[in-house]
Structure 1
Amino acid sequence: MAYYKNLREWLAALEAKGLLVRVAKRINKDTEMHPLVRLQFRGLRERERKGWLFENVTDVSSRTYDMPVALAVMAPSRAVYALGMGVDAPDQIAAKWAAAQTHPIPPRVIDDSSAPCQEMVYEGRALEQAGGAGMLPVPISTPGFDSGPFLSSGHWVTKDVETGEHNFGTYRGQIKSPTRIGLFAFAYQDVSKHWNKARAVGKPLEAAIVIGCTPNLSYCSTARLPGSEYPFAGGIAGEPVELVRCKTVDLLVPAQSEIVIEGIIPTDEVEPEGCFGEFTGYMAQRALDKFMNVTCITRKRDAIFQAFLSQFPPSESSVLRGVGLEGLLYKMLTVDHKMKGILEVVLLDTSGSHGICVVKVDRSACGDPMAPLRVITSMARAIPKILIAVDGDIDARDADAVLWAMSYRVQPQRDSEMRDINIPTGLDFSLAPPSARPEVETAKASAILIDATCKWEYPPTSLPRKEFMERAQGLWRELGLPELQLKNPWFGYNLGSWSEEDQADAERAIRGEHYATGEIRASQRVKLPKNESE
């Protein structure tokens, strides 16, 4: 089956599977929209989360807009992410990511006369009359704390002035005026590298912000891939990404995009940016950073504005960031380093899919469970600071299961290591207080590596055997009790340290013959020596 052609085909696919909520009621983008969708991330199970399409949008000034807003449509859950990757289930995502990285497909440039993203063009006087960025229904993500509307799903396109290689990365963009948009990016991110190279030769940096594209592009923009993202997006789709040249800057953008904002980023001045709610669960502080002067906005005639729901985890961005980076790490361990016994790499949602990494291993195949953790800490940037290896019987996505493994399969002095690492993120306030943000780049960061695997055979888990739990499920349904969401482990299983005698006792018990076991134990009594005080 051909990949989704554009955002609206993707929305149709979600709706066909019951994964899209259409809201016809008038909704305020500044005070109601994000809080409404936030509720599903605070109050529903992951599998119940959906994408949202707001068809009647207003703002705090009662202004209405000629375009709907799609929110949390790319990754409200891993099941939706799997659909966007073109696979049947979440457990197939990592393999699809590895295939896309090892078999990229270069993009194809088309003639601008046929580019849907340029059906309407606003530049010069027309841009001013249309209100510039004000024509777009950009929501406020964290009402009551954010300093204004921010582009949360803005895919910034820039290119290396030395090589011409394009970057397609997601960075937040603060709407500061009709023709000025703030940009927040760390020094190690590609857009900052491009900015520094342009600054070194005394030139401003051309940029374009793509809004509303197909899932493969959004997934690649958040995955920290090496080189240009376009070929990897083609690898996911199984076909080239169609690109078109911008109207006022020399950049190539996806032709099927809903909206493209073109502009110039000065390299001789910066200005305060923020505050904005971030993926760590805290507000990012105001700091000096880059900004873009808008030169042109192009769009489809019936454009749909699209935004990510980020901020406090779990969120759409924690799924986007986590699944993409999981695929990158899995490929790095299994393909690049050819490590055996790597079953799964997981970034826990509750850590913003950033702070805690769990690697599920087959200990017999991988040898040293610490080895993959050490490889991950060798990454240049964006390193999780808590890394845990677990056995194959542990649900690596369930923090409760991981904590259980850490509680009874770990001796800290034997099974943990501390390693110095590059700063995982400048948004981590455990590094330095908010007032010391400029100093964070020189702060010392560390990671803890924990081997939470069984070092030898263990007794069975203390749960009823599978057949009894399956029978209990039938009884549960007969009694009309609430639907279950079972967590692993939900039945007992043997971990090696269980004798034939132990099993015989258990079998007699379920036949009602436990007195026979009592007689056997009576025959095995051991006389104790007399108490010396007697």
Structure 2
Amino acid sequence: MLCLRIMKDMRHYLEDLRQNYPEEFVKISEPVSHEYEITAVWKMFERKGNPVLFFEKVHGYDMPVVANIFGSRARVARMIGSDVWNFYDKWLERTRAGVEPEYVSTGPVKEVKYFSNDVDLSILPALKFFVEDGGRYITAGIVVANHPETGEVNLSYARLMVKDRNKLGVSIHSRGNLWRYFNRAIELGRPWLNVAVIIGCHPTLYLAAATRTTDEYKLAGALCSEPVKLVKCETNEVYVPYNAEIVLEGRILTNVYEDEGPFSEYTGYVSGRSTRNVMAIDCITHRMNPIFQTIIPTNSSEHLLLGGLPMQANVYKKLKESIPEVRSINFPVWGTHLVAILSVDKEWKEGVQIRAAMLLMGANPYVKYVILVDDDIDVFDEMQVLWAVATRSQPDRCIHLFPITDGNMLDPSQEKAGFTSRAVIDATSPPHWKNAQVNVPSLPRDVVEKVQKMFK
């Protein structure tokens, strides 16, 4: 199992992946355009195992582009030394206590520096992914900001559209900690909020940045069992990984707003929703021969797994703490955060499965469909799940509807944005099975193990 226990960088990760899982690493030597062609290549490989894609040559740019690092659930699980079935438990085990970052004076990210009039975002092969996109986007940018009063550090994601040589259009519509910091800067009368944008770093840092928390540097260190090494920016007090590929240093302006978008969002639809913020870029630093990382947007596996798995681990924790009968949970990629499959052991407590579903919907407002199954069903095997729905549920008594509540703003099926109804499909074994002979065919365990050894 590939387990990156040492906090190295993206380059080491890619090399380890290439050596240990060559089928998951595809190098494209043919030159491609930054407009649409990388998306088209990803679309083709999405049906062929969703490997990491390394584009050696992009027309008009000196930097190679890497995409789809988070495109596989198994690959993401290995990043923290786990497998698909134990990801949430491993995440919770690793993150019980944070690991403080280590501060250093310099690092590879300082090898090349551009200031003032030399700052030019056009050196970056930012992509236009789809025809409907409002422009070229930096999608693998982790935004680092400090609370303007307390200094609390937060890492998060925002839409970043290239608008000029030193200007990005920004949308902070997730309304997380960055939004809170920005609005506090406005309340304090500050003209801007200092930030940095990290492009290309160790994968666990990307996973940490996807959580709804603060001190993500400590969280990333916990995931890797080693401190993240940080270096101070050149033009502000923000700290960034010393071995990042590229860092943009800038300011989100508190009194300037411009149009941004539209963009292809994770539900698989184009959205024009935007907070219309502007980021002025004061400095660019990068490694020698940097690699430009991008995250495939829309409802790609990469977008949904990176954005979902870390937050879902926290939902799993809440469920297990309240209802020990919960066994496993899966937010399938095709459900775009709106569907969850939950397995529950209800042998000794009929009805506990409905309570678990209600708690899940309360803990994660994005979910509008919960499919409940017994613990003999693998929640990651969707054929098994659909078989359970088909053979263990009756529509008149197993589909439970819940009235309109607040929900996901990006769900296009809503009549009123941000408000949704919900449904629970109870595909657990019906109560009358306890007194009936309803059996599933089985094989002797020793025979199964023997055959598995034969065909290893």
Deviations 1:359-404 (A, max 9, x none): 111112665012222222223x643111222111222123443333
Aligned pairs for 1:117-516 within 5 A = 117-127=109-119, 132-142=120-130, 144-186=131-173, 188-203=175-190, 204-222=192-210, 224-285=211-272, 287-313=274-300, 315-334=301-320, 337-352=321-336, 354-364=337-347, 368-379=352-363, 382-412=365-395, 414-419=397-402, 423-432=406-415, 440=417, 443-456=418-431, 457=433, 459-460=437-438, 465-466=442-443
Amino acid aligned to 1:135: I
Deviations 1:90-138 (A, max 9, x none): 2232122112332221222221xx22111111111322xxxx1111111
Question: Partner of 1:466: helix, strand, or coil?
Answer: coil
Question: Partner of 2:237: helix, strand, or coil?
Answer: coil
Deviations 1:40-78 (A, max 9, x none): 22x23xxx22101111111xxxx2x222111112x1211
Amino acid aligned to 1:86: G
**Partner Cα distance (2:353, 2:197) in 1:** 42
Question: Partner of 1:364: helix, strand, or coil?
Answer: coil
**Partner Cα distance (2:13, 2:303) in 1:** 18
Deviations 1:240-264 (A, max 9, x none): 1111111112211121110011111
Change (3 A) 1:125 1:309: same
**Partner Cα distance (2:41, 2:437) in 1:** 47
Q: Structure 1 length normalisation: TM-score? A: 0.77
Q: Structure 2 length normalisation: TM-score? A: 0.89
**Partner Cα distance (1:291, 1:125) in 2:** 18
Match of 1:70 in 2: 66
Amino acid aligned to 1:161: P
1:116 partnered with 2:104: no
Question: Partner of 1:427: helix, strand, or coil?
Answer: coil
Which residue of the other structure, out of 77, 83, 86, is the alignment partner of 1:82? 77
Contact preservation (8 Å) 2:372, 2:428: yes
Q: Which has the higher contact order (CA 8 A, sep 6+)?
A: 2
Match of 1:38 in 2: 43
**Partner Cα distance (1:461, 1:155) in 2:** 51
Aligned pairs for 1:42-57 within 5 A = 43-44=47-48, 48-57=49-58
Contact preservation (8 Å) 2:173, 2:273: no
Amino acid aligned to 1:324: P
Change (3 A) 1:134 1:15: same
Change (3 A) 1:182 1:410: same
Amino acid aligned to 2:66: A
**Partner Cα distance (2:376, 2:92) in 1:** 24
Match of 2:31 in 1: 26
**Partner Cα distance (2:7, 2:17) in 1:** 11
Change (3 A) 1:36 1:137: same
Deviation at 1:274, TM superposition (A): 0.6
Identity %: 28
**Partner Cα distance (1:294, 1:189) in 2:** 22
**Partner Cα distance (2:113, 2:401) in 1:** 55
Contact preservation (8 Å) 1:209, 1:261: yes
Change (3 A) 1:269 1:365: farther
Change (3 A) 1:461 1:281: farther
Contact preservation (8 Å) 2:338, 2:368: yes
**Partner Cα distance (1:403, 1:2) in 2:** 37
Match of 1:523 in 2: none
Change (3 A) 1:308 1:99: same
Amino acid aligned to 1:108: E
Q: CA RMSD in A?
A: 2.6
Q: Which moved more, 1:354-363 or 1:416-425?
A: 416-425
Contact preservation (8 Å) 1:376, 1:383: no
Deviations 1:481-504 (A, max 9, x none): xxxxxxxxxxxxxxxxxxxxxxxx
Change (3 A) 1:227 1:147: same
Contact preservation (8 Å) 1:340, 1:365: no
Change (3 A) 1:421 1:238: farther
Deviation at 1:145, TM superposition (A): 1.8
- Number of residue-to-residue matches in the alignment: 441
Contact preservation (8 Å) 2:408, 2:419: no
Match of 2:88 in 1: 94
Contact preservation (8 Å) 2:64, 2:292: yes
Amino acid aligned to 2:110: Q
**Partner Cα distance (2:136, 2:286) in 1:** 20
**Partner Cα distance (2:254, 2:236) in 1:** 16
Deviation at 1:465, TM superposition (A): 4.5
Which residue of the other structure, out of 88, 91, 100, is the alignment partner of 1:106? 100
Question: Partner of 2:282: helix, strand, or coil?
Answer: strand
Amino acid aligned to 2:104: I
Deviation at 1:38, TM superposition (A): 1.6
**Partner Cα distance (1:187, 1:79) in 2:** 27
